[in-house]
Structure 1
Amino acid sequence: MARHGTAALKKATAAACAGALVLPLVVAPAQAQRGKLALVRDAETEDLLKDYAAPIFKVAGIGNSPVEIILVNDKSFNAFVPDSRRMFINIGVLMEAETPGEVIGVVAHETGHIAGRHLVRLRSAAANAQIMSVIGMILGAGAMAAGAASGSAGAAQGGAAAALGSGSIGKRSFLTYQRGEEAAADRAALKYLNATGQSAKGMLKTFERFAEQQVFSARFVDPYAVSHPMARDRYRSLADAAQKSKFYNKPAPASLQQRHEMVKAKLIAYTNHPNTVARRYPRSDKSLPAQYAKAIAAMKSRSRGAIKQIDALIRQQPNNPYFYEVKGQSLLESGNPKAAIAPFRKAVALRPNEGQFLIWLGYALVGSNNPAVLPEAESYLKKGLQRDPNSSVGYSQLAIAHARQGERAQADLATARGLMVAGDFGAAKRYAARAQKNLKRGTPAWLQADDIVSYKPPQLKQR
């Protein structure tokens, strides 16, 4: 029975998690498949952005607010804030920026919009509104899953409310601001950078590029420049104020610059063909970021030397958890989940509260096909999902762990949660309804299933 349940669950979750199970950079599949906004998950990149943002958020007075930075799988230079709780940053920002200051400047500018409580403008395209509505539903579904995992019915219901409210979010504009609001965000960004003892040179460099783009045809202009109009007089005003700061010529700490280069190399390697990586990081480049990019490119091309290259990185930085994560993922991708357990355990030992590491370890344990470790796998997956409730990978693996232990109702519920996160609400409702029939009424699990069964996606009006 457990074997049959596992097969059914694998089939059900395949569509929701296709392409996201073994890639270190996990793209939210539902949006990618539907041509909508594709989201990326990577612990190293997210940790860097959090460190960039933390001092900015603090001086802006939003340090105690749960502002989440979300990565978008788009190589264009763009960032936007839909509300006071979320900031979306394209991976292109990190890939194009040469220094941490360029990224920090973007974060500071967008923080100015959040702290300034600027009103957002209506989008002209309904498709863009639908994109944001999907994001709201996904994040709301994640909140529901987190509530159920913690045994809090109230938290689960709160998540449902957040998801249901996403329709109104989707009707608003997140890229088209009034010039006055943009200028106010500029001034706020300069204030934050000065208050944190950081240079505005990076932000100025970014905006200078946008100002220069205005002389070209709109077809060649970066979307960020279009949505954030940068007239020459506005740029000069910004430059004058930035250059007066005593921190203007202060470089970023060497350690932060190194982390930026490592993340940049990682993103370039994961999002480009190995040949492109080889041109970007030639053999003559022996730097650690170059080695990182080459190791990831080798992994992507299924090279036998990939593990050897990753081990060389580990020898240089034996306490770098992200190197162990990449090694574990390389072993998973090569079809050896049992061998992946050890590097994932090391990553978790170094960063015990990183949800993505916990989920990957649980995934490797499930994939090892050892019934004796299934309870341990379940434990790691649940801990990981409490910290990272938007992981469809985590839910699919938890479903398999439950099914192999003969826990069919729990397996169906985990599948339903994963499908909700993936945006497949119809399938999620079917699995939740089946789970409900075999769960005790009124328990946290039953209430979670009931929330999913009762969920109604917001109806968007075409504009």
Structure 2
Amino acid sequence: MLLILSFTAIAQPAAAQSILRDAETEALFRDMSRPLIAAAGLRPENVQVVMIGDPSINAFVAGGQIVYIHSGLIAAADSANEVQGVIAHELGHITGGHILRFQEGIKTATGIMILSLVLGAAAMAAGAGDAGAGILAAGQQAAMGKFLAFTRTQESSADQAGASFLTKAGISGKGSLTFFKKLQNQEFRYAIPQEDSYARTHPLTGERIQALEQVYSHDPAWAKPSDPALEARFQRVKAKLAGFVDDPKRILALYPEYNKTVQARYARAYAFHKTAFPEKALGEIDSLLQTTPEDPYYLELRGQVLLESGRPDEALESLRRAVQRAPNEPLIASLFGHALIATEKPDNFVEAKNVLKSAISRDNSNPFAWYQLGIVYDREGDHGRAALATAERYNLENQPRLALANAEQALHAIPTGTIDWLRAQDIAMVSRTAVQTEKRKGSDGVK
């Protein structure tokens, strides 16, 4: 069962895990990363920082200009400054073109491997079986060593680039070093060898710390404190993330009810809602709203709890206020649209359609918003656009067979040549190609 709170989990095969989407978190990531992205010479509107639902401490890039951060990394970080250090490092991979150049490392290692196969086979053919086997083994070891050296060079390059971005942005590198030291402590804890980096994809963490300390010690921003407002926002997001992903019993142990900090009340609100105590959850949220009555994210959560508790009519006021206070947050708008539909009142459907279309115009990569818009179209009797919205949803969820079926249905119902008809045609073409590729892989026995 998927629990939809302010966080929404969306399956994304590109990352092989669930993407966690939350308006407050994404706003924080944008503000944390914007100066670093600019320092890297990239356009902030073209770079995304995306959170993956994974408890391990990790971050990566996988092509394009998207930085993926595991939820476990946010949980392990103590400050926004630490996460900024991680983002800076990943931006170093993007500006260095490391994903594109990854194939170069593979090609070089493969060349060594092929040469060893040829020489080993020749030795075996000449009757020197042991020598041939030795050549094969040595070739494999050399190829792996060459590849690992290549990846270590990339990591060192990203470290240095990330440090330069922090310096240029006027952000202290203290958080970067602190986080590397946490990683080093993890390695000590799990008895990961620290003497030789030859068999590692990354340089030794101690070596990385030493190299970065030399850079940061001359950085004018070293002693500059992190933005207090940004740090306070980070602590809020960290607490709400814990409330969303952790076991409610653990949350209530970490944040007992006598703890009245913002973080504690925020985390408990999620824990109480997950354990089906909506009144307790609302009590925590209302106490937060007493201090900041127009906070859009508290209002969003209040509306979400009411909606998920089967009280959509009561949720509308909070969600409408949340949308008014954060008009550029499409995730909140899509939740408001969902609440309007959930009231089952036809008078609310027109507003729901307008709200959802506005949300999608700002962010068309939210399958939940497309799903809700499809419901509105279906209730209106516009089955062609309902099918198109459903095709959009399945296209985003990487379900090409369902996307194709709905796109073809839309093509038959929507007037030919219109913008919606052309969009349905695009989805049909892409999905048909994906289905054919799946069939070929299946016939070839490829898993």
1:366-416 deviation per Cα after TM superposition (whole angstroms, max 9, x unaligned): 111110121110111111112121211111111111111111111111111
CA distance in 2, matches of 1:215, 1:193: 28
- In the other structure, the counterpart of 2:203 is 229
Shift in alpha-carbon separation, 1:250–1:425, aligned structure 2, 3 A? same
- In the other structure, the counterpart of 2:10 is 28
Shift in alpha-carbon separation, 1:341–1:31, aligned structure 2, 3 A? farther
Partner of residue 53 from structure 2, selected from 63, 69, 73: 73
SS in structure 2 opposite 1:28? strand
**Contact 1:109/1:185 (8 A) holds in 2:** yes
CA distance in 2, matches of 1:190, 1:319: 38
- In the other structure, the counterpart of 1:265 is 239
1:184-213 deviation per Cα after TM superposition (whole angstroms, max 9, x unaligned): 221222222122222111111111233344
- In the other structure, the counterpart of 1:401 is 376
| Residues 297-308 of structure 1: pairs in structure 2 closer than 5 A | 297-303=271-277, 304-308=279-283
**Contact 1:416/1:431 (8 A) holds in 2:** yes
Partner of residue 346 from structure 1, selected from 296, 299, 321: 321
State the one-letter code of the partner of 1:453.
Answer: A
CA distance in 2, matches of 1:320, 1:379: 23
Q: Does 1:201 pair with 2:165?
A: no
CA distance in 2, matches of 1:328, 1:283: 22
Shift in alpha-carbon separation, 1:295–1:95, aligned structure 2, 3 A? same
**Contact 1:30/1:424 (8 A) holds in 2:** no
Flag the structure with more relative contact order, 1 or 2, with Cα contacts below 8 A and sequence separation at least 6.
1
**Contact 1:120/1:176 (8 A) holds in 2:** no
1:54-111 deviation per Cα after TM superposition (whole angstroms, max 9, x unaligned): 0001111103560112211112111111224211111122111001111000001111
Shift in alpha-carbon separation, 1:220–1:321, aligned structure 2, 3 A? farther
State the one-letter code of the partner of 1:244.
Answer: H
Shift in alpha-carbon separation, 1:65–1:48, aligned structure 2, 3 A? closer
- In the other structure, the counterpart of 2:109 is none
- In the other structure, the counterpart of 2:2 is 19
Q: Does 1:39 pair with 2:22?
A: no
State the one-letter code of the partner of 1:269.
Answer: G
State the one-letter code of the partner of 2:59.
Answer: A
- In the other structure, the counterpart of 2:114 is none
SS in structure 1 opposite 2:344? coil
**Identity between Structure 1 and Structure 2 (%):** 33
State the one-letter code of the partner of 1:260.
Answer: F
- In the other structure, the counterpart of 1:62 is 42
Shift in alpha-carbon separation, 1:437–1:220, aligned structure 2, 3 A? farther
State the one-letter code of the partner of 1:46.
Answer: E
Q: Which runs of 5+ in 2 are unaligned?
A: 107-147
| Residues 84-123 of structure 1: pairs in structure 2 closer than 5 A | 84-118=64-98, 119-121=100-102
- In the other structure, the counterpart of 1:184 is 157
Partner of residue 412 from structure 1, selected from 387, 393, 396: 387
CA distance in 1, matches of 2:53, 2:104: 21
CA distance in 2, matches of 1:428, 1:232: 49
SS in structure 1 opposite 2:46? coil
CA distance in 2, matches of 1:123, 1:430: 40
Shift in alpha-carbon separation, 1:393–1:187, aligned structure 2, 3 A? same
- In the other structure, the counterpart of 1:131 is none
Q: Which has the larger radius of gyration?
A: 2
- In the other structure, the counterpart of 1:250 is 224
SS in structure 2 opposite 1:39? strand
RMSD of aligned Cα (Å) = 2.8
CA distance in 1, matches of 2:21, 2:209: 34
**Contact 2:86/2:176 (8 A) holds in 1:** yes
| Residues 433-452 of structure 1: pairs in structure 2 closer than 5 A | 433-452=408-427
* Matched positions, count: 391
**Contact 2:316/2:339 (8 A) holds in 1:** yes
- In the other structure, the counterpart of 1:356 is 331
1:201-232 deviation per Cα after TM superposition (whole angstroms, max 9, x unaligned): 111111123334444657899xxx97543343
SS in structure 2 opposite 1:249? coil
Shift in alpha-carbon separation, 1:300–1:219, aligned structure 2, 3 A? farther
TM-score by length of 2: 0.81
SS in structure 2 opposite 1:27? strand
CA positional deviation for 1:120: 4.5
CA distance in 2, matches of 1:65, 1:333: 33
SS in structure 2 opposite 1:121? helix
Partner of residue 356 from structure 2, selected from 369, 381, 388: 381
CA distance in 1, matches of 2:152, 2:334: 44
- In the other structure, the counterpart of 2:118 is none
Shift in alpha-carbon separation, 1:277–1:219, aligned structure 2, 3 A? farther
**Contact 2:11/2:17 (8 A) holds in 1:** no
**Contact 2:320/2:336 (8 A) holds in 1:** yes
CA distance in 1, matches of 2:200, 2:280: 44
